[in-house]
Structure 1
Amino acid sequence: MTDNRVTIRRAVESDEPALLDIELTAWDASSGFPSMTEGERAGFFSDRSGPDAHLVAVLDDRVVGYIRLQDKYRFREGAGVLAVNGLAVAVDARGHGIGSALLTAVTEEAERRGARKITLHVHSSNTVARRLYERHGYQVEGTHPREFLIDGEEVDSLTLAKFL
């Protein structure tokens, strides 16, 4: 159930430190890539992925999660297909319906943009995320067997999609 103290809004530049902290602590080998969180990182936002590509979840005046929504393709034939290129919730804020609230908000944003489809990738080992996506209407569109080698284990990547 969604916590009524959770609000979703568009990210702003001042969210960057909180988002970087979430990015560096929310992922583990079942959900992300350990190599991506090693070492120092200067910031969260990039040229292709600025504040305008992110919705953030705020719980009790604290940024506790994000979802990144971008055009999947940069050519007109792919217009209307959006990609979720990251969804993360702070470890200590899980269990408040934040992931669900972010997925609901991203569907509303996609519909506002006139999208026809939202797509995403998830590790086959990330059963919690897979169940969340399925509850929000995402279906497996494809499997990429043995796509990644994470901590010595081969991991399939799944492509999921939701048609609007």
Structure 2
Amino acid sequence: MTANRLTVRRAVETDDAVLLRIDQTSWDATTGFPSYQEHIRDSFFARSGPEAHLVAEYDGQVVGYLRLQDKYPFPEGEGVLTINGLAVALDARGQGVATALLDAAAAEGKRRGARKISLHVHGTNTVARRLYERHGYVIEGTHPNEFLIEGTYVDAIDMAKML
């Protein structure tokens, strides 16, 4: 994918169906929560609306999203955003989509006056961890055996990037 054919924009209501399809096919037990995937059958935006999402398009076709939200609902936590999901369509992986979304999230964070973006990633998701590290995210903490997924304990890794 070339950069001029890959764009990032804010999500709109009409993205719901395609984002739902991406969400339903992008996660597995090493990257997400199978029990959560069972719930998201009707609307992608049921969890949070379009205003919380950046969408990547390639030649006008939606190929990924990033959910960027305030981490804390109180004034002392102002300036800290969190990525609560990043997914790329299976046929668009390895083409720079996640990089474009992370770059757009950093730009959006700066535009909003944020000082930090944080995220959680499964310890088993080494591909995502390497991606985040290439974008300046560092490990802030590890929660051993945080989740029991399909009979296996999985660590939760907290990562963050200062803006």
Contact 1:6 1:58 survives alignment (8 Å): yes
Q: Deviations over 1:119-155 (max 9, x none)?
A: 0000010000000000000000000110011111100
* Structure-1 residue corresponding to 2:124: 125
Contact 1:68 1:87 survives alignment (8 Å): yes
Contact 1:19 1:66 survives alignment (8 Å): yes
* Structure-1 residue corresponding to 2:27: 27
More helix by share: 2
Residue range with higher mean Cα deviation, 53-62 or 31-40:
31-40
* Structure-1 residue corresponding to 2:97: 98
Secondary structure of 2:76 counterpart:
helix
- Rounded to whole Å, the distance in 1 between the matches of 2:110 and 2:40 is 37
**Letter in structure 2 aligned against 1:101:** A
RMSD of aligned residue pairs (Cα, Å): 1.4
Show structure 1 runs of 5+ residues with no match.
none
1:16 aligns with 2:16: yes
Q: Deviations over 1:34-70 (max 9, x none)?
A: 1122266210113x61101000000122101000000
Secondary structure of 1:102 counterpart:
helix
User: How far off is 1:4 after superposition?
Assistant: 3.4
**Letter in structure 2 aligned against 1:57:** A
TM-score normalized by the length of structure 1: 0.95
- Rounded to whole Å, the distance in 2 between the matches of 1:79 and 1:93 is 34
Q: Percent identity?
A: 66
User: How far off is 1:95 after superposition?
Assistant: 1.3
Show structure 2 runs of 5+ residues with no match.
none
- Rounded to whole Å, the distance in 1 between the matches of 2:130 and 2:3 is 19
* Structure-2 residue corresponding to 1:41: 41
TM-score normalized by the length of structure 2: 0.96
Secondary structure of 2:28 counterpart:
coil
- Rounded to whole Å, the distance in 2 between the matches of 1:14 and 1:163 is 33
Secondary structure of 2:136 counterpart:
coil
* Structure-2 residue corresponding to 1:86: 85
**Letter in structure 1 aligned against 2:64:** G
* Structure-1 residue corresponding to 2:142: 143
